[in-house]
Amino acid sequence: MNELAIIEKLRELAERGPHITLGIGDDCAIYRPRRGEDLLFKIDPMIENVHFRREQPPAIIGQRALARNLSDIAAMGGEPDFCLVSLAIPRELGEKWVWGFYRGLLPLSRSTGTALAGGHLACAEMIYCDVVVGGHVPRGKALLRSRARVGDSVYVSGRLGKPWDRRITPRLALGKALRGKASSCIDLSDGLSLDLYRLCLASGVAADIDHVPVMRGATLERALNGGEDYELLFTVPPGKKAPLGTTHIGKIIKGEPGRVFFRGQVLPPRGYDHFTSS
């Protein structure tokens, strides 16, 4: 197992983006921005025994490591350009595990135009990975979580309560379609109750929801409080139409900032908080 040889091979395999003028192989990656755009950046970790178990397929772990960040780019209405991947694994897992991980990550990188522009590979006692994604959005057009207003309708994409062990489909096309339509947007990474709380808190409003699209086989409890759906939760002002295939689940109302009601009852933010949940 040789770090330099693996990185050399990754350099050959890596998707190259039109705006990455220098990719893997120097002290930094170089990105040449277009005019009139804002750039978006997100970092998110995948940690053994927190986000996955060592026995799980490395390709699923690699796919999710990138997809989670792409979901955040989608939530801002952005389009991804590149990623940097910092991966540490126990020596005994060896090169085979590394390639399994990248067998999950690289196809998603290619299909979404997210160039693998750099990163790091190290040995550690446990598996740990951080992925950063950089993307762009027309200047001033990013969707924020802080712009929901009283009277807006609340929507969600897909069905909630998904099982963990699957590939994630980041909602990039939907995010782009929401530019100029949605007043606010957030991705569902920690559960509807916590993420809607965050959106309402950031916007200084409350929400009243009465309908949640539950995944077949999932419970309502899981759809409300389970994390990792990676769907988009967004608000649409009166007079604007939400894209087809999204579900109207409630309204933004006046009230204590962050307060969420579900069928008339207070819905506490019970989703995943790494420091308070076990």
Site for a second copy in 16-35 (CB under 8 A): 21-22, 25-33, 35
Instruction: Give min distance, CB of 186 to a second copy, in A.
Output: 6
Residue 150 is a binding residue for a second copy (CB under 8 A):
no
Name, in order, each residue with C-beta under 8 angstroms of 105's C-beta and a sequence gap of 6 or more: 62, 63, 65, 66, 85, 116
107-135: buried (b, 16+ CB within 10 Å) or exposed (e) per residue?
bbbeebbbbbbbbebeeeeebbbbbbbbb
Least distance between a second copy and beta carbon 163 (Å): 22
Between residue 45 and residue 74, which ones bind a second copy under the rule CB under 8 A?
A: 45, 47-50, 72-73
Calpha distance 138→76 (Å, rounded)? 11
Q: Which two tokens stand for residue 129?
A: 């990975």
Number of residues that bind a second copy (CB under 8 A): 69
Q: Select 144 or 214, whichever has its Cβ closest to a second copy.
A: 144
Binding pattern for the stretch 93-112 against a second copy, x by CB under 8 A and - elsewhere: --------------------
Cα distances from 51 to residues 203, 206, 218, 272, in angstroms, run: 29, 30, 20, 11
* 3-state class (DSSP) for residue 86: strand
Which positions touch a second copy (CB under 8 A)?
A: 1-4, 6, 21-22, 25-33, 35, 37-45, 47-50, 72-73, 75-76, 78, 82, 84-86, 88, 91, 117-126, 128, 130, 132, 134-135, 139, 142, 144-146, 185-187, 202, 273-276
